[in-house]
Chain A
Amino acid sequence: MSEYFFIDLGNAIISGLMLGSLYAIMALGLTIIQGVVRIFNFCHGGMSILGGYLAFMFLSSAGLGLILSVILSCVVMFIFGLVLYRFAISFLVKKPNWEISSVIFLLGLGILMENLILQIFGPRVKEIPILFTDAFEFGYIRINHHDAMLMAFVVIFVLGLNLFFSRTWLGKSIRAVAQDIDGAKVVGINSNRTLSLAFGLAAAVTGLAGILLATKYYLTPQIGWDWMFKGFIIVVFGGLGTISGAIYAGLIMGLIESLITLYGSQPWVWPAWFVIFLFVLLIKPEGLFGRKSASY
C-alpha cells in the first residue's frame, strides 16, 4: 500500500476505460440489430473481422491511405449488411420458427465467413498500422496517443450516432420501426427499406469496431468469436437494444477486466464475465439500463 497502489490503479482504470470504449463500440452494432430487427446477430464476429480484413486489404494490397481504407471498408460492410438483410434475413424473419432459423443461419454464416477469410487471407496474424506511437505521460501514468485517439473517436462516433438517431429522418424512422413496426407502416414508413438500411448501418458499425479492435490487438480469422461473445455479454448486461446501456456496460466490463487483471490474473477474466452475465440474466433479464420492452 503505497504510491504504487495509486499508480497501478490509475493505469488500470485508464486501460479499463480504453478497453471499455472499444467494447462499447463493439456492442453497438449488435445492439442496433437487436433493437431494430429483434434478432441476435450471431455472425457479429464474422462481420467485425471482415471489416478488419477489408481495411487490411485496402491498406496493404491496394495501398490506399488509412482513413480512406477505413471509410471504404465501412461502405463495403454497409452494402454487405444491406444485401444480407434484403436477400436472406428478411425472408427468414417471416417464417414460423424464425427465431431458431435466424440464429442458426447467422451462426452458419459466421462459420462460413471465418473460414472463407481463412482461405483467402491465410491463418497468419495480421496487424493494422496505427497513426501515433507516442504517449502522454502524467507522472507515472501513461496514456498512449493511439488509445487517446481511439477513445476520442469512440466518443465522437457515439455522439454522432446519437444525433443521427434523434435528428435525421432516417434515424427517426429506424427508431419508429424498432418501437412498433405496424405503427411505423401506418405513418408511411417503408419498413422493409428502413430495416435493411438499419441492418446495413449496424454492419458498417460492426466493421468499424472490428477495425478499431484490430488496431489495438491483431487480426486472426478465429478472433471474431471472442469479440462476439464479449459483445453479447455487454449487450445483455446493458439492456437489449439500448445504445446508452451498451456504452455504460462496455465501460463497466472494461474496468472489471482491467481490475481483475491487476489484482487477480488474466485467466479469471472470462469466468468473471460469465458469472456476471448469468447473474444479470437471472436477476434482471432486461439488463441494467434496459426497459421492459426493448426499444430506444
Chain B
Amino acid sequence: MRFELKRSYWEDIRIFRYRSDFRWYMALVFLLLVLPVFIGDYYISQFNVVFIYSIVSVGMMLLTGFTGQLSLGHVGFFGIGSYTSAILVSKGIPFLLAMPLAGLLAAAIGILVALPAVRLTGMYLAIMTIGFAFIVEEVLARWESLTRGNMGMVVEPPSIGPFEFDSEFSFYYLALLILILSLLAARNILRSPTGRAMISIRDSEVASQAIGVNLMKFKAVAFALSAFFTGIAGSLSAHKLSFISPESFNFLESVKYLAMIIIGGLGSLHGAVLGAAFLLFLPGVIIAVKEYLPHAIASQPGLEPLLMGLVIVLFILFEPMGLYGRWMKVKHYFEFFPLYKKDTFKRVKSYYKAEKH
C-alpha cells in the first residue's frame, strides 16, 4: 500500500505519478521495440493497426473522455487526414510535411465543426457530428477531380528522405514512434491549464464557467486537438493500407472509435490504448477460435460486427468504467487487501443529480 504525499503543485502535475511508473513504461517501450523481431509479418501488421487506432482513440479520449463532448463524426476527420496526406504526397510533398499538414487541416475543420457544436450538447452534438461525417463522405465521393471519387486512390508508402517505410516491419517503428509522441503530447496537454480547463468542462460546465473557463474557446480547442490526432492517424492509415476510398469512412467506423474509448474506460489515456488493442485484436482472436467452432457458426458472415455490438452492450451494462477501470479495481483490491470496500468507485449520487437536466 502506497501513500501519496504531495509537497507542491508541480508534484501534482508530474508526467509520471511515481518514479516506478517511468521504469514500467520504459520496460514496455523496450518490449515493444524488440517485439517485431520475434513475431511474423501478420502480427506486426495487427500491431500497426492497433497503433494507428490508438492514436485515434487518444484523440477521441481528449474530446469525449476528458472534455465530455460526444462525437460520432470522427471518421470525417480520419478521412480528411487520409485524403490530405495521400493527395499531398502524390503531388510530391514529402511525407514528413504532409502528415502534420493533414493533422492541421483536420484541426482547422475541427474548429469549424466546433463553432456550431459549442451551442449544442450531448446527443444533439452527436447527431450533428454524424451529419458532418456524412458530408465529408459525400464530398470525398463527389470531388472527383481531386479524390478520384468512388474509384479510390492508390497511396504511396511513406518515406523520410531516401528511406521508404514500405514493409510492415519498418512501418511498425514509425507508427510506434508517433503513438508514443501523441501519448506524451496528450499527457502534457492534460496537465497544462488547457487540459485542466477541459476536464473541468467535463465535470461541470456551470462550475467551470464560474471559475472563468471560456467554454467556447476550450470546447473548440478540444475539438481541434482531437481532430489533429485523428487526422495524423488517418494519414498513417492511408499510407499503411496504400489504398483509400470514400466508403471505408462510414458511420460504423465512428462507432468503432467510440467503442474503443468506452471499452478502454472513459477518462484515461491507458484506457484509450487498451480499448483500441482490445477491439482490434478481437477479430484476430475470432479467426483463431474459429477453427474450434462448429462449421455452421464459423462459416457465417458478419460474425465480427456482431461480436463488436455484443462487446459494447456487455461492457456498458456490466463494466461501464472499461478495461482500465477493471484494472484499477483489481489493483485497488490487492493494495487494500483485507479492507476492500465494494462501493469504493461509486460516485456520490447527489452530486451528479443536479447536473442531469
Question: Which A residues form the contact surface with B (CB < 8 A)?
Answer: 39-40, 88, 91-92, 95-101, 103-105, 107-116, 118-119, 123, 225, 229, 232, 236, 270-271, 274-275, 277-278, 281-282, 285
| A275 nearest in chain B by CB position | B135
User: B213 in the interface, Cβ–Cβ < 8 Å?
Assistant: no
Task: Establish whether residues B123 and A112, one from each chain, have CB atoms under 8 Å apart when the complex forms.
Answer: no
Question: In the assembled complex, how far is the CB of residue A140 from the closest CB belonging to chain B, in whole angstroms?
Answer: 34
What chain B residues lie within 8 Å of A110 (beta carbons)? 309
Interface majority SS (helix, strand, loop, mixed), chain A: helix
- Least CB separation from B314: chain A residue: A108
Q: Is B252 an interface residue (CB 8 A)?
A: yes
Name the CB-closest residue of A to B119: A285
CB pair A285 B124 closer than 8 Å:
yes
Q: A107-B258, A112-B310, A281-B116 are in contact. List 13 more A-B contacts (CB 8 A).
A: A40-B127, A88-B317, A95-B320, A100-B266, A104-B255, A105-B313, A107-B312, A108-B259, A114-B309, A118-B306, A229-B130, A275-B135, A278-B131
The answer to the question of B262 belonging to the interface, with a C-beta cut-off of 8 Å to chain A, is yes
Give A88 to B70 CA distance when docked, in angstroms. 21
Which interface class (under 10, 10 to 19, 20 to 34, 35 or more) fits B?
35 or more
Q: A40-B126, A116-B306, A119-B306 are in contact. Are A270 and B138 (CB under 8 A)?
A: yes
- CB interface residues, B 277-336, toward A, < 8 Å: 300-303, 305-306, 308-313, 316-317, 320
B341 within 8 A of A: no
B173 within 8 A of A: no
Cβ contact within 8 Å between A123 and B301: yes
8 A Cβ contacts from B206-265 to A = 251-252, 255, 258-259, 262
Q: Which chain B residues numbered 124 to 158 have a C-beta less than 8 Å away from chain A? A: 124, 126-128, 130-132, 134-135, 138
- A271 in contact with B312 given A88-B317, A99-B70 (CB within 8 Å): no
Contact A39 B302 (CB under 8 A): no
Would B316 and A104 count as touching, CB distance under 8 A? yes
Q: Would A109 and B123 be within 8 Å (CB), given that A115-B302, A225-B251 are in contact?
A: no
Give chain A nearest CB distance to B5 CB in angstroms: 29
The distance in angstroms between the C-alpha atoms of A91 and B128, with both chains bound, is 26
Q: Is there contact, CB below 8 Å, between A281 and B124? A: yes
A270 contact set on B, CB distance < 8 A: 134, 138
B120 adjacent to A281 (CB under 8 Å): yes
Chain A residues with CB under 8 A of B301: 118, 123
